[in-house]
A and B are shown apart, each in its own frame.
Chain A
Amino acid sequence: MALLEVRSVKKAFGGLIALDGMSIVVEEGRIYGLIGPNGAGKTTLFNIASGFYAPDAGEVIFAGERVTDLGSHERCARGLARTFQIPKMFPEMSVVDNVLIGALSRTKEVKSARSYAEEIVDFLGMTRKKDALAGSLRVHELKRLEIAKALATKPKLLLLDETMAGMNAVEQDQLIRLLRKVHDAGTTLLVVEHVMHAVVNLCQHVVVVNAGRMVVEGGTREVLANEEVIRIYLGEDDKC
């Protein structure tokens, strides 16, 4: 079943066309990679799917419901969560309190939300940092916190925007294992990623976008071997 469907979405910022009839379908229960060169429209697509931007044309359908006109908080309530490429946290709150804010979307009771938040913090291996202020964390910790906050809202679909950036190889491998666990627990993932190692090891499915349109999609290995994709990434007359 299609969990998320983006249908011929258009979005322009002034004269710049970010999305030019973009359509993608995310099936439930899989891990998708969304790749493409810088400026291809990946983050714009995330912002439209999660309700931060309104599209100029086209529709967004989540779990069979048209959500194009809903705010991001209403999409979150329906099970669509996201992380931000540049982490957006609550800097004056501790790590566990940041996650608590996410958990409160499912439980009105602060006490039970807090114990759920602590579970999530443990799950992400941030137990030692749980009382540290979010504003004092380093980049790779903030990326984890982004995931922790989003997970606390118990999403059906999690949109991850370049979570591997700024991490070393060991941290990337840890995160890949962690995201597999998240997936095994029943969350569908759509991952924007530039780190190819992560795409190959994590994603079962890859969608390639370029210039605001979807170019190719399919199984990870076929897509990455596709000549069109190589041309988009490396350029027309590459002699390498």
Chain B
Amino acid sequence: MKRAENTALSGLIGPVAILIVLLVVPFLAGRYLTQVILFGLITAYLCGAWNISAGYGGLLSFGHAAFIGTGAYATAIPLVYYGLPGWLGMLMGGAISAVFGFGLSWTICRFRVKGFYFAVSTILFAEVLGSIATRSRYLGRGMGVPLPSVTNVFTLQFLSVIPYYYMALLLVCAMVLITRHVERSRLGWYLRATRQSEDASSALGIDVTMVKVIAMTLSAFLTGIGGGMYVLALRFCDPYDVFGIMFSTTLMLGTLLGGRGTVYGPIIGIAILTAVKEGLTFTAEALGGMSSFALVLMGWGVILCLVAKFVPNGIGPWVWNRVAKKTLV
């Protein structure tokens, strides 16, 4: 028992140390690095939301951008048109996304669409919402919606990146706590069970449809909030970005890389992806004439292949099993 407590405590050392480093970053790093880490934090938070439904529950959504975009527009439009505060927009974005997530997953489960077809349905859903945004005059068509550059604490608008940085850090911490809570709850066990065998789950009294719908609704709600945060920090709502397949892909990539179905996996994965992206962007600029976007995608692809080949459960669990467990326990 004593030993178990010691392990639990020593398991906290890493996360707490990283949290302290992240807390002081804005004071030590320049604006550029702070901004890079800010968007890393937002993406890590969004990864965490994807992780709940896909990592734990095996619901392979390729279209979480649908919820990011919903959150983004639900924040940007009321703020720009009606001056409603950003935090209200984030909550509305979460609520509308939750309704979408509920409707989508209920429909998909009702018609027993599984695996590959489930994934395709989610992509199409994001594309449908995206094409509505690019065609509606109210939603700014393909031009998107720019947010005014002002500082207004009430509407959560700042010229400095630092307030956004701490908001994003708060979201990531909240995501860690939510994920830990879900992981240990009955819902968490039911999610892992349905991922591993739907027949066995259903024979043991699990309402598989209900579990999937709850997971998707929760994940969509959290993603919607993150979409609002993203658009506030970026100060621009671009339909091709927030509803884009690239955003969905980044969430999947980060979670798979760091370790799906783990609390810290998404954070580790996004940390690596962000570092590689920045490194390769600088390399591309130094080389000149090379598309940095293409180079970044190639770099991510190579990393994904290596992880799939050598550490299929993700880097987080691998590090934990190889290093941490041996030195700490």
Contacts and interface: CB of A to CB of B under 8 A. Distances in A.
B207 A73 contact: yes
Interface stretch (A87-95, A118-126, A201-209): A87-95
B256 to A, nearest CB: 16
B199 interface: yes
Given A84-B203, A100-B189, A90 B196 contact: yes
A110 B185 contact: yes
B204 interface: yes
A218 B203 CA distance: 29
Contacts of A160: none
Contacts of A89: 196-197, 200
Given A73-B207, A73-B208, A88-B197, A93 B192 contact: yes
A102 B196 contact: no
A81 interface: yes
Given A74-B207, A76-B204, A89-B200, 6 more contacts: A90-B196, A92-B196, A93-B193, A105-B204, A105-B205, A150-B203
Contacts of B208: 73
28 contacts: A71-B202, A72-B203, A73-B206, A76-B203, A76-B204, A81-B203, A81-B204, A84-B200, A88-B197, A88-B203, A89-B196, A90-B196, A90-B197, A91-B197, A92-B196, A93-B192, A97-B189, A100-B189, A101-B189, A101-B193, A101-B204, A101-B206, A104-B189, A104-B205, A105-B204, A110-B184, A149-B203, A153-B205
Nearest to A108: B186
Contact of A149 (B184, B202, B204, B207): B204
A237 to B, nearest CB: 41
B209 to A, nearest CB: 8
A82 interface: yes
B317 to A, nearest CB: 11
B205 A93 contact: no
B193 A90 contact: yes
A233 interface: no
Interface in B1-57: none
A149 B200 CA distance: 9
B199 A84 contact: yes
Interface string A63-75: 0000000011110
A150 to B, nearest CB: 7
Given A110-B185, A110-B186, A82 B203 contact: yes
B281 interface: no
A74 to B, nearest CB: 8
A167 interface: no
Contacts of B196: 89-93
A57 interface: no
Contact of A102 (B199, B205, B207): B205
Interface string A168-184: 00000000000000000
Contacts of B185: 110
Interface size class of B (residues with CB under 8 A): 10 to 19
- Chain B interface SS verdict (over half): helix
Contacts of A100: 189
A146 B97 CA distance: 39
Given A89-B197, A100-B189, A104-B190, A73 B202 contact: yes
Nearest to A103: B204
B192 A90 contact: yes
B200 A71 contact: no
Nearest to B200: A88
Nearest to B188: A110
Nearest to B207: A73
B179 to A, nearest CB: 16
B288 to A, nearest CB: 48
Contacts of B249: none
A149 B196 CA distance: 15
A88 B197 CA distance: 7
B201 interface: yes
A72 B200 contact: no
A110 B193 CA distance: 14
A202 B70 CA distance: 61
A50 interface: yes
Contacts of B192: 90, 92-93
A101 B201 CA distance: 8
Given A90-B193, A93-B192, A104-B186, A77 B205 contact: yes
Contacts of A97: 189
Contact of A52 (B189, B190, B193, B199): B199
Contacts of B206: 73, 101, 105
A104 B187 CA distance: 10
A102 B204 contact: yes
A76 B205 contact: yes
Contacts of A90: 192-193, 196-197, 200
Contacts of B207: 71, 73-74
8 A-B pairs closest in CB distance: A105-B205, A76-B205, A88-B200, A90-B196, A102-B204, A72-B202, A101-B193, A73-B207
